[in-house]
Amino acid sequence: MSRELTWSHNFTDADAARLCQLASIANDPRYRPYVCLWVTDGVVCNLHFQASEFPDHLRSAHGVVGADKASLMCCWVNCFAEMPKDCLMRHINENHLELRHICPICHEQFTRANTMQNHMSRKHSGN
């Protein structure tokens, strides 16, 4: 208990509404997190993000910037195709951003819903 904790004074109805909105988005299957498999220096990024955050993430985390016609390499794992920057976003969307199905119990990731269901019944069936 400290008087230093002044954040509660700034917690408005708008903040509360935003939190409720975030909570409902988390349960919305359309907003399941994508996983970034961009490789930098041999290390896969592995960050989870919402689809709408991805262009910003590529820019700020992976330095995908420059003129639209500048030739860039897609450093997605196992891809490494070269293309103009204005094609890259669409390329990634169409080729790499599959919705992941994430096990709610151990958070293992699967590309297909039925693979995850198999996993659930093999690993987590309590009965």
60: Cα separation from own chain's centroid: 14
Q: How many residues bind Zn ion (CB under 5 A)?
A: 13
Tokens at residue 87, please?
Answer: 């094609």
Residue 105 found at the interface with Zn ion (CB under 5 A): yes
Q: For residue 38, with 0-12 CB atoms within 10 Å meaning exposed, 13-18 middle and 19 or more buried, which class applies?
A: buried
Residue 72 found at the interface with Zn ion (CB under 5 A): no
Residue 45 found at the interface with Zn ion (CB under 5 A): yes
Residue 35 found at the interface with Zn ion (CB under 5 A): no
Q: Are 101 and 110 in contact (CB under 8 A)?
A: yes
Among 34, 35, 38, 64, binds Zn ion (CB under 5 A): 38
Closest to Zn ion by CB, 53 or 108: 108
Question: HSE on the CB side for 89, CA within 13 Å?
Answer: 16
Among 16, 106, 112, 118, binds Zn ion (CB under 5 A): 106
What is the pattern of x (binds Zn ion, CB under 5 A) and - over residues 4-33?
A: ------------------------------
Distances (CA, A) of 22 to 13, 18, 44, 107: 14, 6, 27, 20
What is the binding site for Zn ion (CB under 5 A)?
36, 38, 45, 47, 61, 74, 76, 79, 81, 103, 105-106, 108
